[in-house]
Amino acid sequence: MAEGTLSQRLGAEAIGSFFLFAAVIGSGIMAEDLAGGNVAVALLANTMATGAILFVLIAMLGPISGAHFNPAVTFAFWLRKEIAARTAILFVVAQVVGGTIGAWIVHLMFEQPVLQFSTKARTGIGQWTGEAVATFGLVLTILLLLKHRPKAIPAGVGLYITSAYWFTSSTSFANPAITIVRSLSDTFAGIAPDDVPLFVLFQLVGSALAVGCAAWLTAVRD
């Protein structure tokens, strides 16, 4: 259970999103630089960095804000009436702002233009379906572990995303905020801005379906 004040919770969401999004984009740049054109090796390095930082950030900041770092997760808790609409909106703003600063700092670290837009097309029914599946699985993992094994959430989420990078056609963005921020980076992890809206739509659909599925699976039966 998150125990921080509202300002502490927003700070935790911004800091967590900063490091998560920086890890995704920065490890993609580093991996592409070192992989010598081998996309599979680059994706593997990107995957490992993302799964590892998720474990650390959730374990570190979860007690303060709940460690959403993801509007699809915040949306799920709003649907469950566990977070107020105003707070949910503030969480999303903190996630996007913190993540955007993370992307800009990564560009600065790797001596790239700070302001840029991705040209990498990611579109089509296969990728949209991949995002719905990836987000459904992520949110379901969180909700069921929260009920039955809350201490396992950092490991569960980190391992789920590590796996979903490889079993989904979209490489599992599963996060509207990081989808937006990745459109601001013309690097390995990027997505063209025109492709963002449908990714986000399918992510939110996956989140809503997970909320319904979790409610059904955990319903008390006579």
Q: To the nearest whole number, what is the mean pLDDT of the chain?
A: 96
Could you tell me which residues come within 8 angstroms of residue 170 by beta carbon, excluding any fewer than 6 positions away? 122, 126, 127, 128, 130, 131, 134, 199
Q: What is the rounded CA–CA span in Å between residue 34 and residue 165?
A: 19
Judge whether 222 lies within some domain.
no
Predicted confidence at residue 1, as pLDDT, reads 56
Structural domains of the chain, count: 1
Judge whether 174 lies within some domain.
yes
Could you list the residue range(s) of the whole structural domain that residue 11 is in? 6-217
Predicted confidence at residue 222, as pLDDT, reads 52
- CATH of residue 177: 1.20.1080.10
pLDDT at 2 over 90: no
Judge whether 26 lies within some domain.
yes
For residue 209 the two structure tokens come to 């379906």
Predicted confidence at residue 179, as pLDDT, reads 98
How far is CA 175 from each of CA 4, 112, 139, 186, 216, rounded to the nearest angstrom?
23, 24, 10, 18, 24
pTM: 0.95
Judge whether 124 lies within some domain.
yes
* Span 114-140, average pLDDT: 97
Predicted confidence at residue 4, as pLDDT, reads 80
* Span 180-191, average pLDDT: 97
* Span 4-21, average pLDDT: 97
Could you tell me which residues come within 8 angstroms of residue 95 by beta carbon, excluding any fewer than 6 positions away? 13, 14, 17, 68, 69, 70, 71, 74, 177
Q: What is the rounded CA–CA span in Å between residue 2 and residue 10?
A: 11
Q: What is the rounded CA–CA span in Å between residue 32 and residue 120?
A: 14
Judge whether 126 lies within some domain.
yes
Judge whether 1 lies within some domain.
no
Could you tell me which residues come within 8 angstroms of residue 18 by beta carbon, excluding any fewer than 6 positions away? 98, 99, 101, 102, 105
Each residue's pLDDT tens digit, 15-40? 999 999 999 999 999 999 999 999 99
Each residue's pLDDT tens digit, 67-77? 999 999 999 99
Predicted confidence at residue 3, as pLDDT, reads 75
Judge whether 175 lies within some domain.
yes
Identity at 113, one-letter amino acid code: P
